[in-house]
Amino acid sequence: MRKFVLATAVVIATSAMPAVADEMIDPPADWTGPYVGGNAGIAILDGSARVTLPGSVTNFELDDTGFTFGGQIGYNWLHDDFVFGVEADINYLDVGDRGIVPLTTTGAFSLDSDWYATIRARGGMVMDKTLFYATAGLALMDADLRTQAIAAAAVAGSASDSDVLLGFAVGAGIEHSFSEKWSAKLEYLYMNFESDSLSAAFATARVNPDLHVIRAGINYHFCWDSRC
């Protein structure tokens, strides 16, 4: 009888060990609290540019694909199975486009963007340890215009102008908690920016850019299990 009881206790203890270990290593995430992380992905620039040079007005379609990486910081609140929060990010950006307007003197222009930033609200539903969310808010992006006048196969003059464009961002994503303090996410953001004019010497460009971003990220949660 003692052997039977001892064997039964061993079986019960052995069965319970994985569950206990799982609770110790990977406690249930309640999502409430601050977090910080990084992200990387691809960015697609589209939209339009209306370039005015002496004696010519030309419309161009913006089209370029580049990479982006940066960091984010945010805060979540959990209510039942719903998560609400706010997130801000700033990212390096490598997109731009170029155009040539043939005249008696050829005009060349380039439009480049080196960074974007957003501050957004997030909201979604948690299923097990996975958060499905939508997001929307404000977006900023820099725009750099450079122009050149080329005559007789030589650069006759050049100039540049820059500005920060204001717009909005909307998107959606999925985030999964995979350990005690860490989660990974995949998200899509669409950003539309206000139309703005940039002037560089002899050229003026009226730009209206859009930005599509697909990126993966990782977050560290300071209060993952409500033990801040």
Q: Quick one: pLDDT at residue 8?
A: 40
Q: Quick one: pLDDT at residue 227?
A: 58
| Residue 16 within a domain | no
Question: pLDDT band for position 150 (50/70/90)?
Answer: low
| Residue 21 within a domain | no
Q: In the predicted model, what is the mean pLDDT of residues 31-54?
A: 90
Per the model's pLDDT, the better-predicted residue between 60 and 213 turns out to be 213
The domain tally of the chain equals 1
What own/partner pairs with CB < 8 Å and gap ≥ 24 does 23-26 have? 25/179, 25/180, 26/177, 26/178, 26/179, 26/180
pLDDT at 10 over 60: no
| Residue 2 within a domain | no
**What CATH number is attached to the domain comprising 49?**
2.40.160.20
pLDDT at 28 over 90: no
pLDDT at 25 over 60: no
Q: Quick one: pLDDT at residue 151?
A: 52
pLDDT at 4 over 50: no
Q: In the predicted model, what is the mean pLDDT of residues 149-156?
A: 51
pLDDT tens, position by position, 126-136: 998 999 999 99
Q: In the predicted model, what is the mean pLDDT of residues 39-47?
A: 95
Q: In the chain, where does DSSP find H-type helix?
A: 2-25
What six digits make up the tokens of 9? Answer: 């206790």
Q: In the predicted model, what is the mean pLDDT of residues 4-22?
A: 39
Q: Quick one: pLDDT at residue 223?
A: 78
| Residue 126 within a domain | yes
SS3 17: helix
Q: Quick one: pLDDT at residue 193?
A: 95
Q: Quick one: pLDDT at residue 130?
A: 94
| Residue 176 within a domain | yes
Question: pTM for this structure?
Answer: 0.79
| Residue 1 within a domain | no
Per the model's pLDDT, the better-predicted residue between 74 and 62 turns out to be 74
| Residue 162 within a domain | yes
Q: Which helix (H) or strand (E) holds 77?
A: strand 56-79
Q: Which domain holds residue 175?
A: 30-221
| Residue 13 within a domain | no
Instruction: Report which DSSP code applies to 75.
Output: E
- How many CA atoms, within 13 angstroms, populate the side-chain half-sphere of residue 66? 19
Mean of the per-residue pLDDT values of the chain: 80
